[in-house]
Structure formats: C-alpha cells, structure tokens
Amino acid sequence: MAPRTWVVACVLFSGVSILSTAQPPPEISNSFCKIFWLLGVPCGDVNVALVSGLKGKQSYKLGVVTPAQILANHTSAVGQVENLNFTLAPTAMTTGCHVAASSVSPFSFSLFDNGTNYCNLHRVMKGSGLTKSPGFMEFSNEWLCLGYGVSVCK
C-alpha cells in the first residue's frame, strides 16, 4: 500500500474509533456540540495553541488546563454561559493529536440557536491557527452538534 494511502486509512480509522466512543452530554435536553479534530501536530503544541486562542478572546474564560484537558467558559452577548471542554490524546500511528471538544449550554431554549455551541468551538480552533496545520480534519454532524449544519460562523 502506498504511504499516502496508508496514512489516509489510519486517519480515517482513528476518526471512526473516536466517533464510536463518543459519550453523550449528561443533560440531553441542553443545547450541545461535540466535535473531533485530527491534527498532524503533537498534542503539546496543540495545547499551547488552544490556550493561546482562548486567552486571545474576551468572551472566553480559561479554566483548568492540563496536558490532556482544557476547560473554559464562553459568555454570550446575552449573558448565557456555555461550558467548553477540550480533551487531547496522541494519535496511535503518528506524532499527531486528536481533540474531542464539547460545548454545552445550560438551557434547553438554546436548542435552536444557529449553532452557538459549534461556533464557540470553531472560533477557538480557528483563532489558534490550528485549522491550517498539517493533517487538520474535523468530524461532526447534526447528531453530535445541534445546529452544525446551520451555524453562521463557518
């Protein structure tokens, strides 16, 4: 098998493995989003970039940071606070990193909010510059991320 084909197969297998182990948020009545990113960058570099991206945004408040997890909050213009969680783990086949990210709103009335929770996560990832990193891939859908298809931040 050609090296390029082998790498693509490994990345796809890793993505499917991650998606199949996804845990639903504890409060399904709340608005939520779960995204998985694969990057060809070591997790240490991803951690530093995500923390920098969070610190650079006024509406985000950084919480606990460890090498494997970053917690934060986002406060919307109307004062609603969403909880963000980024869990980092090295990929099995390369020196890359996969990130499981979630944003959960505390109220069910935000179920139809044009992808607010997706945008919370997307803005951090884009602001970190990681969307342009080697091997960047995003995995999500409407079942994992309410409003994913209609978000206005893409």
Tell me the domain boundaries of the chain.
3-21+29-150
Give the count of beta carbons closer than 10 Å to the beta carbon of residue 21.
Answer: 9
Planar angle of CA 153, 25, 96, nearest 5 degrees: 65
Please tell me which residue, 28 or 103, carries the higher pLDDT value: 103
User: What is the predicted pLDDT for the residue at 125?
Assistant: 94
Residue 124 binned pLDDT confidence (cut-offs 50, 70, 90): very high
User: What is the predicted pLDDT for the residue at 112?
Assistant: 60
Alpha helices in 21-87 (DSSP H): 43-55
Query: Which of 104, 154, 131, 141 shows the shortest CA–CA distance to 37?
Result: 131
**CATH domain 3-21+29-150 topology:** TATA-Binding Protein (3.30.310)
Q: What integer is the mean pLDDT of 18-33?
A: 55
- Does 91 score more than 60 pLDDT? yes
Give the count of beta carbons closer than 10 Å to the beta carbon of residue 102.
Answer: 22
Q: Where are the extended beta strands (E) located within 81-151?
A: 81-90, 97-104, 137-139
User: What is the predicted pLDDT for the residue at 31?
Assistant: 78
SS3 114: coil
Specify the residue for token string 């606990």. Answer: 64
Q: Can you name the residues that pair with 33 across neighbouring β-strands? A: 103, 145
Query: Which of 152, 146, 128, 137 shows the shortest CA–CA distance to 29?
Result: 146
d(CA 35, CA 118): 8
d(CA 32, CA 120): 11
User: What is the predicted pLDDT for the residue at 61?
Assistant: 95
